[in-house]
Amino acid sequence: MNDHILVIEDEEDILELITYNLSREGCRVNGAATGEAGLAHVSANKPDLIILDLMLPGMDGFEVCRRLKNDPATRAIPILIVTARGEEADVVTGLELGADDYLTKPFSPRVLVARIRAVLRRGSRDEAADGTVLKRGDLTIDSGRHQVLVADREVTLTSTEFRLLLFLASRPGWVFTRDQIVNGIHEMNFAVTARSIDVQIVGLRKKLGGENTYIETVRGVGYRFRE
């Protein structure tokens, strides 16, 4: 790897551990001890990926993630949450806010590096999208532009919501279990639960408004995109 990675982490020993292991992989690593300092760094020097702790002094990691994903200038920067908070509700909240992966402490440095590689690969594939445009009624999904339109209205989705919608819409009529959806949009080892997929679906349906009926629940199995 030859990437610029920002680590927003207030525990010095954790920051040193991450910096040491990523530097060995050829990464350029910067650290920030607070959410405010992290946002300032991102504004001045956009990194290729952000490692984000949740329990930060002052502004917590959830708020940092929210601000980054709500800003068009920083929305595409991948975020890997690394935190001691491993409760399902925390994982779901992080994913809802647009985080690309979630890793709980204590963690193996080798697993951390593998997760980072996977997230960066996904980002590269998104950038290299072939520009396929899917049209389903008034719903338009443009993979190249990473854009979703309902009629002429643009719908703002998180990166996870967009991949979920594109995954289902690309295979209309096929029924997918939650595990198959996880593997399809996040690859292996993604810290996600069946509950978080349900939450993503609920949020996606709300944003799609009148076109939400395309996403059907198949009771006892999973979800499909209506033909």
DSSP secondary structure, the chain, as one string:
---EEEEE-S-HHHHHHHHHHHHHTT-EEEEESSHHHHHHHHHHS--SEEEE-S--SSS-HHHHHHHHHHSTTTTTS-EEEEES---HHHHHHHHHTT-SEEEESS--HHHHHHHHHHHHHHHHHHHT----EEEETTEEEETTTTEEEETTEEE---HHHHHHHHHHHTSTT-EEEHHHHHHHHH-TT----HHHHHHHHHHHHHHHGGGGGGEEEETTTEEEE--
Q: Give the domain ranges of the chain.
A: 4-127, 133-225
For the beta sheet containing 79-83, the strands, ordered from the edge strand earlier in sequence to the opposite edge, are 28-32, 4-8, 49-52, 79-83, 101-104
CATH fold of 133-225, please?
A: Arc Repressor Mutant, subunit A (1.10.10)
- In this prediction, residue 191 has a pLDDT band, given cuts at 50, 70 and 90, of low
Residue with more model confidence, 8 or 69 = 8
- Would you say residue 105 has pLDDT above 50? yes
pLDDT at position 50 is 97
* Residue-by-residue DSSP string for 207-222: HHGGGGGGEEEETTTE
Residue 12, pLDDT score? 95
Q: Which residue has the higher pLDDT, 180 or 78?
A: 78
| pLDDT given at position 3 | 92
CATH 3.40.50.2300 fits 4-127, yes or no: yes
For 7-49, the pLDDT digits (tens) are: 999 999 999 999 999 999 999 999 999 999 999 999 999 999 9
**For residue 128, what pLDDT is reported?**
43
Q: For position 58, what pLDDT does the model report?
A: 93
pLDDT at 192: 55
**Most confident by average pLDDT, 2-16, 92-106, 141-155, 170-184:** 2-16
Q: Is 38 exposed, middle or buried (0-12, 13-18, 19+ CB in 10 A)?
A: buried
Per-residue pLDDT for 112 more than 80?
yes
Q: Which residue did the predictor score with more confidence, 28 or 180?
A: 28
Lowest mean pLDDT among 65-74, 108-117, 180-189, 207-216: 180-189
42-67 mean pLDDT: 95
Residue 143 contacts residue 122 (beta carbons within 8 Å): no
Listed residue (154, 153, 136) closest to 145, CA to CA:
154
Average predicted confidence (pLDDT) for the chain: 86
Please state, in angstroms and rounded to a whole number, the distance separating the CA atoms of residues 180 and 67: 30
Residue 65 φ then ψ, to 5°: -60, -45
Residue 172 pLDDT more than 90? no
Q: Of 7 and 211, which is predicted with more confidence?
A: 7
Determine if the pTM surpasses 0.75. Answer: no
Please report the pLDDT score of residue 100 as a whole number.
82
Q: What pLDDT does residue 195 have? A: 72
Q: What integer pLDDT is reported at residue 194 of this predicted model?
A: 65
For residue 188, the model assigns a pLDDT of 44
